[in-house]
């Protein structure tokens, strides 16, 4: 069964450094999302992406964040200058053109020191 | 208005018992209500979902009850098993466009004792 994959599973970085989190959505899906989950808290929407552009972004998704679909398979989230409060689990999700179900990857745990 | 309120925060049930998790929303534009199950270290996985035009949906041991007038919906897990021990999130979406971002509840940590 097709699944969303994410790499790396765990990323440790120093505050102020740039990180790129990678996702490979399910191949025939057209809608892509990033969510984050701070330890012990609820899942929060960051950004949605469709037709090679951002559809919507939350207030969390400030100028330090960017997303890109550099080729036909990868979907990346870049944080330019990480802060301590960026430490969280980041989930990528994808959704087909029809239907509401979003399929989630296993997540990348980002630890900012 | 974009919030989804979920309770309880944690739940302990004996094996074979019924687990009930409740959610409430305010935004009447929401039109899709999924429940996700998350095991430690894993991503959320869709468990069951409902649209507001039905009052109940059942899939195996899992049932969603939906009360449109009260703007509430709940997950019932019948014959709860230790393998059901996980965190359960209710969510909602209803964007007029194609975005369909999910608004999440806070989650319920379920422990099923053997």
The verdict on A94 touching B (C-beta cutoff 8 Å) is no
**Contact present, A74 and A63 (Cβ < 8 Å):** no
Largest CA distance in chain A: 41
The verdict on A105 touching B (C-beta cutoff 8 Å) is yes
Out of A42, A43, A56, name the one closest to residue B99 (CB): A56
Query: Are A91 and B32 an interchain contact pair (Cβ–Cβ within 8 Å)?
Result: no
Query: Are B89 and A43 an interchain contact pair (Cβ–Cβ within 8 Å)?
Result: yes
Shortest Cα distance from B83 to chain A (angstroms)?
Answer: 19
Q: What is the pLDDT of residue B96?
A: 64
Q: What is the pLDDT of residue A99?
A: 84
Residue range B41-98, pLDDT digits in tens = 888 999 999 999 999 999 999 999 999 999 999 999 999 999 999 999 999 998 766 7
Nearest CA in chain A to B30: A100
Query: Are A101 and B45 an interchain contact pair (Cβ–Cβ within 8 Å)?
Result: no
Shortest Cα distance from B21 to chain A (angstroms)?
Answer: 15
Residue A80 dihedral angles phi and psi, to the nearest 5°: -70, -45
Q: What is the pLDDT of residue B41?
A: 83
Nearest CA in chain A to B93: A100
Out of A44, A100, A105, name the one closest to residue B100 (CB): A100
Query: Are A43 and B45 an interchain contact pair (Cβ–Cβ within 8 Å)?
Result: no
Name the least confident of A87-91, B13-17, B30-34, B93-97. Answer: B93-97
Pairwise CA distance, residues B30 & B90, whole Å = 13
Out of B100, B104, B106, name the one closest to residue A95 (CB): B100
Out of A56, A100, A107, name the one closest to residue B32 (CB): A100
Task: Examine the pLDDT at B104 and tell me if it is beyond 90.
Answer: yes
Mention every residue, 6+ apart, whose C-beta is less than 8 A from residue A46: A33, A34, A35, A36, A57, A58, A60, A61, A65, A77, A90
pLDDT by 10s per residue, chain A, length 113: 789 999 999 999 999 999 999 999 999 899 999 999 998 888 999 999 998 899 999 999 999 999 999 887 899 999 999 999 999 999 999 999 888 899 999 999 999 99
**Contact present, B15 and B113 (Cβ < 8 Å):** yes
Q: Which residues pair with A12 in a beta bridge?
A: A111
Q: What is the pLDDT of residue B71?
A: 95
């Amino acid at each position: 069964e097709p699944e969303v994959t994410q790499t790396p599973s765990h990323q440790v970085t120093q505050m102020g450094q740039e990180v790129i989190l990678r996702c490979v959505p399910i191949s025939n899906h057209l809608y892509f999302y990033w969510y984050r989950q701070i330890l012990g808290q609820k899942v929060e929407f960051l950004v949605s992406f469709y037709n090679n552009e951002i559809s919507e972004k939350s207030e969390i998704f400030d100028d330090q964040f960017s997303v890109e679909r550099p080729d036909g398979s990868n979907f990346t989230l870049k944080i330019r200058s990480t802060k301590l409060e960026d430490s969280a689990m980041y989930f990528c999700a994808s959704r087909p053109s029809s239907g509401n179900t979003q399929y989630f990857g296993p997540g990348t745990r980002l630890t900012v020191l | 208005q974009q919030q989804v309120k979920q309770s309880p925060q944690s739940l302990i049930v004996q094996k074979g018992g019924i687990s009930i998790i409740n959610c409430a929303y305010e935004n009447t534009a929401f039109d899709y209500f999924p429940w996700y199950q998350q095991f430690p270290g894993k991503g959320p996985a869709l468990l069951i979902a409902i649209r507001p035009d039905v009052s109940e949906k059942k899939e195996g041991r899992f049932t969603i009850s939906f009360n449109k007038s009260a703007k509430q919906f709940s997950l019932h897990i019948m014959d709860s098993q230790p393998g059901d021990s996980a965190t359960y999130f209710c969510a909602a979406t209803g964007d007029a466009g194609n975005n369909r971002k999910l608004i999440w509840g806070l989650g319920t940590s379920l422990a099923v004792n053997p």
